[in-house]
Structure 1
């Protein structure tokens, strides 16, 4: 099936989008590289492909590889458990998605490259203030990268009197952000906070307006809607702040210092909103009181009284008015920054509404222009930095991904494995036991095929899972759960667990799954946990002996946990190792050295389990356990 045909099997991807995806990433060969390198962002660049859809695409094309490598349910469960452990250290959707796409590979070159990258990052992280970085990354969880588009700006309109310019504005989709008015009347302009007039050869007769700015025909989009650029930075500012702090800790170059300064400067440049009407009304009331008090204090002589009665004023009264209005104008200027006289000269003073409305419109218009010009200036500067900023956001996403992997490796004490033809683990520990106090680490050298015998609850199944975890981690290009490990490159992992033993079809399922696999030349890791539990003892020994012969003919490795070692070694030559319990401690726990003894057939020691249960029980049940133990003494 071609790449395009396979893409079309994904819900929501039709023929047109499938072809577009392949074309825009550079053809089928480049598409396969994008899939193999988990380059989610390259797919998201294609219009119509969201991050969620990009994940679906990669899962579709990589999913089969996982199933080809992890051949059984238990092997896949162990892989998923590793993924869940790593996910706890992620902070961004990008790193979460990339961790979910972290699959085992059988390509030695890729494994080494991935491993070297994580080990290098892990070593670097050990020298840094990890907790401080971790806290910053956790803060980033609250913020998602927003590629926002401005809402429609109702208070803004673009004025044109040339149809070609009008068509150009429509082609630029400016009408999605604000009104475009072709040859508007003066009445149409009254309700707008800001008017942008684009000049042409035949200029329109536009009266002076305080909220009008003009642009030449070679305008840019951000000169009309600077929010197209600004909103991206403003919406992501808190996240950019976090990235900047991390960059400073690392001592790395960044453009974000400039970006944050531009945004902060823009915010500070916004003129303060002053309610001029309230200021004028307050000053009017105060001034009327002053005039009243001052008039009360003046003394008028006969002629002055007659003049006041005949003309309504005198020189002394006029002087009080002039002085009071001068003080009022001064106070208004101090409070608003505007020098104007909004009063009618009468007593009591009243407000000249026409003059006040004119000044309010004038100031509001100037403020709108000032704010707009600051936005345009900031947008032009930020436009030059946007590609660098997007690269830094991409860097941050990758940083969080690597930080998650490195933190997982550090917190679990993982170490880089050596790719080898041998399979050895030293001081290894099951991932679920790493944070358990006094957990025993194990050493084991798997020669090819070996039988593992020993005590019930002695750690045989745990050892199988530890081996599987080591191999899965190594093939994921990650450090492993051992202080030292040599791991061969495997093509497939089989882990057959005794958990299916109660299933009536378990034996048939096992034989049908496993037998054809042995016929291939692929290098396999085979882990069998008490296969005898799904069939009769004698048949089980014969089947295991046959499997051992088949496995020995290939380059595969196998560890088989069994209680039938005595029967099996009669049928086939194979190494037997053992984990043996030495007794019970004061808390009735098994005393076990969980590192297998090589070439040693260990007893299952069920009597120790019975003794433990006997010590922990009471009454009639205790007597029953005692009777069982007596049988072992004979």
Structure 2
């Protein structure tokens, strides 16, 4: 797919999309989460790009939603769908369900609906979905115990871009490698020319480093899994509760994640824990060991106070007498025991193993008081412990990265499938909540026909909405009383047509819809238009009348734009212009009779018939009656008064019944 061929995608946006791993798949699938990972592409922009790409892919030129009111209906549909999504991804994803006249897109979406409506909606799956989010790559974190080395400037530049976590150094020869090996725990040479070079330290020659980033920087992969842990575990639960076939071994995934801390470091290894603790506690342990030795010697010296005048001995010691001579002569055995206690405490408190030999050197065998540490020995012990810790951590990181590396691609599919299940469940819930069915839509039918259709857009509970039956084709006037449901009938026709062209089910027992290229829905104007707005409206209809594509045109009380007498003539002229075109048009009007009389063609007139007035309330049959000019509300009121015969008007000297009867004859 040529990215710049997509309407609205320029060179800059195309360059940003090209940085994605698989931009074409994301565009084709409407994967707004993946598209929003492109630099500078927001979630809203990603949805707009996906919609444009879908239209382009299916050859759906132009905009199906040709007017503001048509777009309002579409936005209402999206709102109903989004209310039934759990994840932000699904809420964005349904925004790509655009209505088009493209048969291939409609078929594609209907297949999705059929899959979706076969799914069981259960609370456990919905609860698990609440924690599923698209996978993200965490920012690179600096790794300071490792570096890359190369002799080549181009390789240096490439390595700097490919491995932002590591320092990249330029060296001239093996001597340069040796110098780096003294500063870093591990040096990775990128040039094959270094193969076979004998250099002290951990130096690895990896000319294939660019092809195996997880071997070079396992921290990157570990950080990815750590950052996405909650989403991965939730996606695993979705697969289990929904009975989905997972793309990887879920137990293996959970076990690997259990070995990973939130900061991306391996956990659960006793040896690593021992070394980490030893490094952290070394200074405190050495200090305590000194106290153990000195406390022992003080106790012994005080005890000698009774037998060998130890008080004088202690006084001499504290005054600076030669401690080694005094201890050697009088307390040699006790000093050895004190040092042994110090060493034992240090080894035991740090749980030292192979490092015990170094620990023993921390306290000298030479008699001194007070006993003091050998700082050089402490430093060597610390260096050895840190090196052992880093080696152990590096090995664990490599082992864990190897296990997780095998799961990297499958977990993308795992999370994507869970998020797509949310999309499907939203469609299933929409269809179930509004008693929907897939309509018949093709080029062989004409107009729109709805049986027992109920609009969820009304300001009443859906279960309280009265079902409507209506079939219309060609050019038709829809008449009826005020508040009788004419506008809601137009809304229902627009809703059914929009949903059908989105490939979605419609809220009706059955429906058939002609496949059209555009929906034109003109809402009722709020008051008479000024001259400029009136002229602009006429220009809109002139453009509409000159169109050649198949269209559905819905117009609500166009007569409100100007004086009633002129409106009837204008509407009649518009109907004449539309007659004979590939257009189904429904004009709601209180001037249906006048328009029919003014038109130079036979205009069909349907009516929403009022049953009458009951206790002052209008009772209406909401389903329009074909070829019927419905009575107006004033006519119904006059008829009610005429038939009641209540004698109104007698006080004025007239026959009330005759008065109402004469008024009724005027209709």
Query: 2:520 touches 2:551 (CA, 8 Å); kept in 1?
Result: yes
Query: 1:244 touches 1:254 (CA, 8 Å); kept in 2?
Result: no
Query: 1:92 touches 1:397 (CA, 8 Å); kept in 2?
Result: yes
Q: 1:86 & 1:436 partners in 2: Cα distance?
A: 15
Of 314, 317, 335, 1:321 maps to: 335
Of 147, 153, 158, 2:147 maps to: 158
Q: 1:494 & 1:447 partners in 2: Cα distance?
A: 15
Q: Cα 1:112–1:180, aligned 2, differ >3 Å: closer, same or farther?
A: closer
Aligned counterparts, 1:75-86, within 5 A? 75-86=70-81
Query: 2:496 touches 2:507 (CA, 8 Å); kept in 1?
Result: yes
Q: For residues 364-405 of structure 1, what are the alpha-carbon distances to aligned partners after superposition, in whole Å with 9 as ceiling and x for unaligned? A: 111011111211222233333322222333333433333333
Of 107, 117, 121, 1:112 maps to: 107
1:139 aligned counterpart, secondary structure: coil
Unmatched segments (≥5 aa) in structure 1: 207-211, 611-630
Of 321, 327, 345, 1:331 maps to: 345
TM-score normalized by the length of structure 2: 0.76
Q: For residues 314-352 of structure 1, what are the alpha-carbon distances to aligned partners after superposition, in whole Å with 9 as ceiling and x for unaligned? A: 788333333343343333333212122222443332222
Q: After TM superposition, give the deviation of residue 469 of structure 1 in Å.
A: 0.6
Q: Cα 1:170–1:203, aligned 2, differ >3 Å: closer, same or farther?
A: farther
Pair 1:172-2:186 in alignment: no
Q: 1:471 & 1:478 partners in 2: Cα distance?
A: 10
Query: 2:485 touches 2:608 (CA, 8 Å); kept in 1?
Result: no
Of 515, 534, 540, 2:567 maps to: 540
Q: After TM superposition, give the deviation of residue 307 of structure 1 in Å.
A: 12
Q: Cα 1:215–1:113, aligned 2, differ >3 Å: closer, same or farther?
A: same
Query: 1:425 touches 1:482 (CA, 8 Å); kept in 2?
Result: yes
Aligned counterparts, 1:17-166, within 5 A? 17=15, 38=30, 55=47, 57-58=49-50, 62=55, 68-90=63-85, 92=87, 94-124=89-119, 127-129=120-122, 131-140=123-132, 143=133, 145-153=135-143, 155-158=144-147, 163=151
Aligned counterparts, 1:419-458, within 5 A? 419=441, 421=445, 423-433=448-458, 435-436=461-462, 438-458=464-484
In structure 1, the partner of 2:591 is 564
1:389 aligned counterpart, secondary structure: helix
Q: 1:575 & 1:317 partners in 2: Cα distance?
A: 123
Pair 1:474-2:492 in alignment: no
Deviates more, 1:398-407 or 1:471-480: 398-407
In structure 1, the partner of 2:202 is 213
Query: 1:89 touches 1:407 (CA, 8 Å); kept in 2?
Result: yes
Q: Cα 1:267–1:302, aligned 2, differ >3 Å: closer, same or farther?
A: closer
Query: 1:237 touches 1:260 (CA, 8 Å); kept in 2?
Result: no
Query: 1:590 touches 1:608 (CA, 8 Å); kept in 2?
Result: no
Q: Cα 1:325–1:584, aligned 2, differ >3 Å: closer, same or farther?
A: farther
Q: After TM superposition, give the deviation of residue 104 of structure 1 in Å.
A: 0.8
TM-score normalized by the length of structure 1: 0.79
Unmatched segments (≥5 aa) in structure 2: 260-265, 317-321, 639-658
Q: 2:7 & 2:540 partners in 1: Cα distance?
A: 31
Q: How big is the alpha-carbon RMSD for the aligned residues of Structure 1 and Structure 2?
A: 4.2
Q: 1:540 & 1:185 partners in 2: Cα distance?
A: 90
2:295 aligned counterpart, secondary structure: helix
Deviates more, 1:472-481 or 1:501-510: 501-510
Query: 2:100 touches 2:502 (CA, 8 Å); kept in 1?
Result: yes
Q: 2:508 & 2:466 partners in 1: Cα distance?
A: 12
Q: 1:135 & 1:523 partners in 2: Cα distance?
A: 45
Q: After TM superposition, give the deviation of residue 189 of structure 1 in Å.
A: 6.8
Q: 1:596 & 1:556 partners in 2: Cα distance?
A: 20
Aligned counterparts, 1:363-512, within 5 A? 363-419=385-441, 421=445, 423-433=448-458, 435-436=461-462, 438-499=464-525, 501-504=527-530, 505-512=532-539
Q: 1:568 & 1:303 partners in 2: Cα distance?
A: 132
